[in-house]
Structure 1
Amino acid sequence: MENHCIEEPFIIRSYRKSELAHLYNPDMPLVPAMRKMRYWIQRNPELYEAMYRSGEARGDHRYTRRQVRLIVETLGEP
């Protein structure tokens, strides 16, 4: 019997920043994965501006559903 890996579809919802970073960088330890995610966001001025224009704080521990949608539209699904 073959063992098929079935991927779950990615769902746009609120994610802890560490959780989403790990989805995008599954082979990296958590802290470097979070740094890399932050780097990708900061290096894209349009994404960065759009993510925080509605009053979300940069220090929040979660990305809102709206922010996750912006990230996925820019970076693609993890």
Structure 2
Amino acid sequence: MSEHTNNSHFVHRSYGLKELATLYFPNIAPASASTRLKHWIMTTPALLNRLIQASYRPNARILSPRQVDIILDEFGEP
């Protein structure tokens, strides 16, 4: 089974929050990117609810493949 989606270069796997954030915000410092992605998550109630149902914790540093997919469903691929 391939980790790639159709015609996409994004690999679906576990990501560190900072790692995923830098994909969404490549032109800012990793710590700032992480803060911005957390802000997006916390200010999108439906997304936050889905993530919590997938065992997300606001202080989590690692996102499961399922949690990453939920974020991608909301924000699209970075």
What residue number does 1:24 align with? 24
- Is there any run of 5+ residues in structure 2 with no aligned partner, and where? 1-7
TM-score by length of 1: 0.83
What residue number does 1:67 align with? 67
Q: Percent identity?
A: 31
Offset at 1:56?
3.3
Is 14-23 or 52-61 further displaced after alignment? 52-61
Provide the alpha-carbon RMSD of the alignment: 1.3
TM-score by length of 2: 0.83
Partner Cα separation in structure 1 for residue 47 and residue 40 of structure 2: 9
Structure 1 segments of 4+ aligned residues over 3 angstroms from their partners? none
Aligned amino acid, residue 38 of structure 1 = K
Bigger Rg, which one? 1
Comparing both chains, which one has the higher relative contact order based on Cα–Cα distances under 8 Å and sequence gaps of 6 or more?
A: 1
* Number of aligned residue pairs: 71
Q: How does 1:2-21 map to 2 (within 5 A)?
A: 9-21=9-21
Offset at 1:59?
1.9
SS at match of 1:77: coil
Partner Cα separation in structure 2 for residue 22 and residue 60 of structure 1: 16
- Is there any run of 5+ residues in structure 1 with no aligned partner, and where? 1-7
